[in-house]
Amino acid sequence: MEEIRPPAAMLAVTRLLHHMSRIFRGNSAPKSRPGGIQIDRKRLKKLQEKRMALGHKPADYEEQWPDMTM
């Protein structure tokens, strides 16, 4: 009895789509970190000093996402 095999073109297209999906998965937007941006101590200290010089309170955090109200 003959074996039923998929045509070579169909197999090639399936493999191509599989590899393309892996490429797109690797290039997709990175998952956001729940804690926000990562910053080292020295840069954080400089940023806090700059904010203090501009008149902000020591623990004054500005909103990251402005409200979209009309």
What band does 46 get if pLDDT is binned at 50, 70 and 90?
Answer: very high
pLDDT of residue 28: 72
| Lookup result for tokens 């045509």 | 7
What letters, b where the CB count within 10 A reaches 16 and e where it falls short, cover 32-44? eeeeeeeeeeeee
Regarding pTM above 0.95, the answer is: no
* Secondary structure letter of residue 29 according to DSSP: P
pLDDT in tens, 11-20: 899 999 999 9
The domain locations on the chain are 6-54
